[in-house]
Structure 1
Amino acid sequence: MIIPNYNGARFLGGCLDSIKAQTLQPLETIVVDDASTDGSVALVRENYPWVKLLVRAKNGQFARACNDGFEAAQGNVLVLFNNDAEAAPGWLAAIDQTFRERPEISSVASRIMLYDRRNVFHTTGDYYKANGVPGNRGVWQEDKGQYDQAEEVFGGCGCAVAFKREVLDAVRADNPDGKILDESLVMYCEDVDLNLRLRLRGLRCLYQPQALVYHRLSATGGGTLASYRNGRNFIVVALKDLPGGILLSNLPAIVATQLKYAFQSLLKIRLKTERARLKGQFDALKAIPDTLRRRKLVQAHRTISTEQFADYLEFNQK
C-alpha cells in the first residue's frame, strides 16, 4: 500500500489508523513524504513504527511521490491510497477477495463516499467522455442503493485503487523514463492517464461496492493548483492517449469543450482559479510537441482496436 503525503499531518493519523484496523493487513504500508514541513515525518516515526517511511528531501509533486512508492513496494498487488481518506475495516479484504474471485480483472475501484456526508458518493469508479473530460461515477449523489452491485467500470479513482503489479509494470513502456505514472502531468489526471493506458491494452477494472472508503474531498488539494492542472492535463491526456481515429472524429467536441471552459473562465477572469485554468489550457498548447512524442510511445503499445476502445468511452456513466 502506497500513501503519498505532503503536509497532510492533520489527516494522516486517521488514515493510518484506518489501515491498522483492517481485517486483512497489507503486506506493507509505505508513506512517501514529499518534503513536508508540518511534522508529518515525526508523526509517522513516533506513532506508526510499522509504516515504511520514505522521505524526499525535495518536493517532487504527487506523481513522482507515487512512483517512488511503486518502486519501493514489494507486493503482487499495489494499492494507492490518499492521505486524506479513511477505509472501512473490510476494505482491503474486499479488494483481495475480488482479485481472487475475478482473476481476469486487472484493477479494483473502491466505493468512495464523502467523509463529512457519508451517505453521498464521491465516486464509484471513473468514466471518460469522448470530448476529453473525465468524471466520477455517482459524484454528489445520495446513496439509495444504486451502486450496490459490483460492475466493470472505465477505471478507478486514484484516491483508493488497487492494481496487479504485472499490469503496472507493463505500462512502464509508455513513459520515456520507464516510470508507471507520467510525471509530466505532476498531479491531477495522472490516474485518468493511467486508466486510459491500461484500457488501451484491453485491461479491465471492476468496481467493488464492499471496498468502502471515506474521503475528505480536496482536503489536501484543490484551489488554483487544481484549476491549473486540470486545465492543462485534460488537453494533454486526450491528445496523448486517445487512438487516432477517435481523436480525429471527436476533435470538434474536444475543441468546443475547451473553448466553453475558456469562455466561462473569461467571464470570471477576476478569480484566481479561472486565470489558473486559462494558463493551464495555454500551457497545454505549448506542450503539444512533447505530448506528441509521448503519444508515439503510448499508441505503440495499444493492443485493442479503435472500435473496442470506443466502447469504453463514457463506460457505465450514471
Structure 2
Amino acid sequence: MEKIAVVILNWNGVKLLEQFLPFVIQYSPEATVYVADNASTDESIAFVKNNYPTIKIIQNKSNKGFAGGYNDALQYIDAEIYALVNSDIEVTENWLKPILETFESEPLTAIVQPKILDFKKKDYFEYAGAGGGYIDKFGYPFCRGRIFDTLEKDNGQYNDTAEIFWASGACFFIRSTVYKELKGFDEDFFAHQEEIDLCWRALNKGYEIKYNSESVVYHVGGATLQQSNPQKTFLNFRNSLLMLTKNLPQKALFQVLMARLVLDGVAGIKFVFGGQFTHCWAVIRAHFSFYGLFLRNYKKREKKQIEIYFKTKSIVYGYYVKNGTVFVDVI
C-alpha cells in the first residue's frame, strides 16, 4: 500500500495539466501521482502519456462529475491517504509534509485541508476553501478568509492549525479507510458541495477535520464552471438543500429547510433585480430538483447527527445586515 496518492481529476483540461502538473511532480516526492480522467475529448491523455510516462492514468468511462469521477477512480488506488487535487492547483515546495505529519500525530483526524490562496492574486485567499470551511445555522458555507464573494488578504491571520467543519474539494486530503467507510462522495450531487456533505458525514461518525497553514497551494478557481454559469448556481442551491436533508439534526431539519427555501426565494428575487434572469431560473430548477430527490436523500440519514454547526450564526445577517466582511465579523 502506498503512503499517499495525489489524484488529479481531469476533464478536458490539457492546458491546466501543461501548466500545473510539473509543480505536482517536482514537489511531491513522497507521493504516487495519478491523473483520473473523466472521459476527456481533448488531448489530455496523450499529453500525459507522451510527457510524463511515470504518471499513472485512470480513464473513467464517462463524465460523472467530481463525485462520481473520484468514486470511480479511487477504487483502483491502494494508498493510506488520498490527496484529491484539482487540475488548476499550483502546489508548493514541501506541501505534503505538514499534512502527513497531521495524519500521523492525530489518529482521529480524517480529513485535512491546506491554506488555499488565489493563483491570480497570490496575497489573497481563494474562494474555494481559503483558511478552512464552516457552515452557518442555515447551511450556508463560508471560510476563514472568504465570506460570500468577499476575500481577505493573507496577512498571516490564519497561520495556524485549526479544527474546521469542511475542507475544500480543490485540495482535499482524506484517509482511505474513512473514505471507504463513508462510501465516498454522494453521486446525487454530481459537483459542488459534495465535499461538505462528506465532511459532515465524517463529523457525524466522530472524526475530526483540520486545516494546516504550513501547507500552501494556489488555486485558479472556476476552471470547469465559472462563477457566472447558471449551472453552478443550480448545483450550489440544489446540493445545499440535499446536504441539509441528509445531515441536520432531526429536531432542526424541517424548520431550517423551510427557512432556506424562503431565503433562496429572496436570492432569486435579487437575481431578477440584478438582471440575472438565468440565475433566478436556476434557483427555481434547483428547488424542483430537490423536491424530486428529497425522499431518496432523507433515507440516507445516519442514526445520529451532531449539533456542532449550531455554534455559528447566520452569515446572511452578519454580511448583509451588519455589513461584516471578514470571518471574525460574522461568527
**Fold-level match, TM-score > 0.5?**
yes
Tell me the alpha carbon deviations over residues 183-240 of structure 1, each in whole angstroms, 9 at most, x when there is no partner. 0111111111111111111211111001101000112222122111112111111112
Q: Which among 158, 161, 166 is matched to residue 147 of structure 1?
A: 158
Tell me the alpha carbon deviations over residues 43-102 of structure 1, each in whole angstroms, 9 at most, x when there is no partner. 111111121111123322221111122211211111110011111111111211221233
Q: Which among 112, 119, 124 is matched to residue 123 of structure 2?
A: 119
Alignment of 1:277 with 2:283, yes or no, is: yes
Q: Matched residue of 2:211: which SS?
A: strand
2:168 aligns to what?
A: 157
Q: Give the alignment of 1:129-208 within 5 angstroms.
A: 129-139=136-146, 140-172=151-183, 180-208=184-212
99 and 253 in structure 1: CA distance in 2 versus 1, 3 angstrom threshold: same
Output the CA distance in 1 between the equivalents of 2:55 and 2:221.
Answer: 24
Tell me the alpha carbon deviations over residues 9-36 of structure 1, each in whole angstroms, 9 at most, x when there is no partner. 111123321111115421x222111111
Alignment of 1:66 with 2:77, yes or no, is: no
2:237 aligns to what?
A: 231
Q: Which among 16, 22, 30 is matched to residue 17 of structure 1?
A: 22
Report the CA distance between 1:170 and its aligned residue.
1.5
1:262 aligns to what?
A: 268
If the length of structure 2 is used for normalisation, what is the TM-score?
Answer: 0.85
Q: Give unpaired runs (5+ residues) of structure 2.
A: 1-5, 316-325
Output the CA distance in 1 between the equivalents of 2:182 and 2:104.
Answer: 22
Q: Matched residue of 2:109: which SS?
A: coil
Output the CA distance in 1 between the equivalents of 2:62 and 2:69.
Answer: 11
If the length of structure 1 is used for normalisation, what is the TM-score?
Answer: 0.88
Aligned length: 304
Q: Matched residue of 2:72: which SS?
A: helix
Output the CA distance in 2 between the equivalents of 1:247 and 1:313.
Answer: 16
Report the CA distance between 1:269 and its aligned residue.
5.9
50 and 311 in structure 1: CA distance in 2 versus 1, 3 angstrom threshold: farther
Alignment of 1:94 with 2:98, yes or no, is: yes
Q: Give unpaired runs (5+ residues) of structure 1.
A: 173-179
Report % sequence identity: 25
Checking the alignment, whether the CA contact within 8 Å between 2:268 and 2:279 is kept in structure 1 is no
Report the CA distance between 1:251 and its aligned residue.
4.0
Tell me the alpha carbon deviations over residues 168-193 of structure 1, each in whole angstroms, 9 at most, x when there is no partner. 12112xxxxxxx11001111111111
Checking the alignment, whether the CA contact within 8 Å between 1:111 and 1:125 is kept in structure 2 is yes
Output the CA distance in 1 between the equivalents of 2:35 and 2:263.
Answer: 37
Alignment of 1:52 with 2:56, yes or no, is: yes
314 and 17 in structure 1: CA distance in 2 versus 1, 3 angstrom threshold: farther
Output the CA distance in 2 between the equivalents of 1:149 and 1:43.
Answer: 38
